[in-house]
């Protein structure tokens, strides 16, 4: 399949910013902040005035089918505590290793069933478009954008993407750690084999554009990212990474994670195409470290092209009680507030303005999510 080139024009960009501004006017009805009386009034005011979004957040689901039995998650309470208005509720299907054809699809459908149950028991729903996000925020209801990390479930069958769309999927991570049986492209932690995206990977990007699914290029190598930019008619993002110049204080971790980080040059390529780069909280020992990593990304690609993608776990189910995981709100042991409150506080201390925090904290994602899902 050939590749056609698409460049986001200045007019496209200005139009999307105007749309975000219009949405911002609808976001002004404040959400009741968790334990607001215990927080700095300025922090609580900023958080409640915006749609804060974590663009890559896991909700634990078990890997064995027999364990998918009405897990108990206090997801609503954890999101409210965090200060986020919404999370991109993400799961993957490539763990443990896939063996038989059909395994990935079965896990995908079972995981969606589990997500359905989690949302039902928490009296929550999925946001399918920007209007849903705005309405949920107006009604003081936390919400989720359904996401999957890796297109393994497709197994070479493009028609499954529409099935996923009808189940509420609106954010597709093209690749994950393990290669698909029907590859979509080169993973950044593996030796390159395909020179970027495969023909099927290109087809998936184009079909996602057509259906109204936002494509996430995390785990793609540079060539695969550039191929997706070339063929996509909608904005794209890399939801969770960091600059390869921001390596924290742990040399061993930096060495092991280097392939997962983005260069300044590649980040600029994505930003110039109208996309976003999400900053994760890896390499940040404190909220202030995290805010400094966000500042470093902004200095490279501009405030309009940065978002938050923590790659943390908002809620962990009972099936994993024997291996408890640090959750989003317990990322830093000495946290005084929920996660997003801590980040807003740290960003203010780092010199970010309220307007910049609103953009990075959710406004930028709302802009491209609207572009991607509007058909």
pLDDT, tens digit (0-9, with 9 covering 90-100), for 130-170: 999 999 999 999 999 999 999 999 999 999 999 999 999 99
Domains of the chain: 10-373 (3.20.20.140)
Length of the chain: 375
pLDDT at site 66: 73
Quote the pLDDT of residue 6: 39
Which pTM does this prediction carry? Answer: 0.89
Q: What is the DSSP string of 90-103?
A: EE-S-SS---STTH
Cα–Cα nearest to 335, from 115, 97, 6, 38: 38
Q: Which residue in the block uniquely carries the two structure tokens 């993407």?
A: 161
pLDDT at 249: 80
What pLDDT is attached to residue 306? 98
Buried-exposed string 243-271: b where 16+ CB fall within 10 A, e elsewhere:
bbebbeeeeeebeebeebbbeeebbbbbb
Phi (first) and psi of residue 16, to 5 degrees = -70, -35
Q: Which residues of the chain have pLDDT under 70?
A: 1-39, 63, 70, 318-325
For 294-322, the pLDDT digits (tens) are 999 999 999 999 999 999 999 887 655 55
């Amino acid at each position: 399949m050939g590749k056609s080139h698409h460049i986001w024009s200045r007019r496209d960009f200005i139009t999307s910013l105007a749309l975000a501004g219009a949405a911002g006017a609808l976001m002004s009805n404040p959400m009741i902040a968790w334990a607001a009386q215990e927080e700095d009034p300025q922090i609580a005011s900023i958080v409640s005035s915006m749609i804060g979004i974590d663009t890559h957040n896991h909700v634990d689901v078990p890997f064995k089918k027999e364990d998918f039995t009405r897990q108990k998650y206090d997801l609503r309470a954890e999101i409210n505590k965090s200060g986020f208005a919404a999370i991109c509720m993400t799961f993957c299907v490539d763990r443990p290793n896939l063996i038989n054809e059909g395994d990935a699809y079965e896990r995908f459908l079972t995981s969606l069933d589990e997500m359905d149950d989690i949302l039902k028991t928490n009296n929550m729903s999925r946001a399918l478009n920007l209007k849903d996000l705005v309405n949920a925020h107006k009604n003081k209801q936390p919400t989720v954008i359904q996401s999957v990390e890796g297109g393994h479930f497709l197994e070479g069958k493009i028609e499954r993407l529409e099935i996923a769309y009808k189940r509420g999927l609106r954010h597709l991570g093209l690749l994950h750690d393990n290669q698909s049986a029907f590859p979509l492209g080169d993973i950044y932690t593996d030796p390159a084999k395909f020179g970027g995206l495969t023909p099927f990977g290109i087809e998936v990007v184009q079909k996602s554009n057509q259906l109204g699914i936002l494509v996430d290029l995390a785990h793609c190598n540079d060539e695969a990212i550039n191929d997706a930019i070339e063929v996509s008619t909608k904005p794209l993002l890399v939801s969770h990474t960091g600059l390869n110049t921001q390596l924290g204080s742990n040399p061993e971790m930096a060495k092991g994670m280097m392939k997962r980080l983005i260069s300044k040059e590649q980040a600029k390529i994505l930003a110039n195409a109208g996309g976003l780069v999400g900053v994760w909280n890896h390499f940040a020992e404190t909220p202030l470290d995290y805010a400094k990593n966000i500042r470093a990304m902004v200095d490279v690609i501009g405030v309009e092209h940065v978002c938050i993608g923590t790659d943390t776990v908002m809620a962990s189910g009972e099936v994993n009680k024997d291996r408890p995981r640090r959750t989003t709100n317990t990322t830093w042991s000495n946290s005084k507030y929920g996660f997003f409150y801590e980040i807003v506080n740290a960003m203010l201390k780092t010199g970010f303005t309220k307007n910049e925090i609103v953009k990075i904290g959710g406004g930028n994602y709302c802009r491209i999510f609207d572009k991607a899902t509007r058909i």
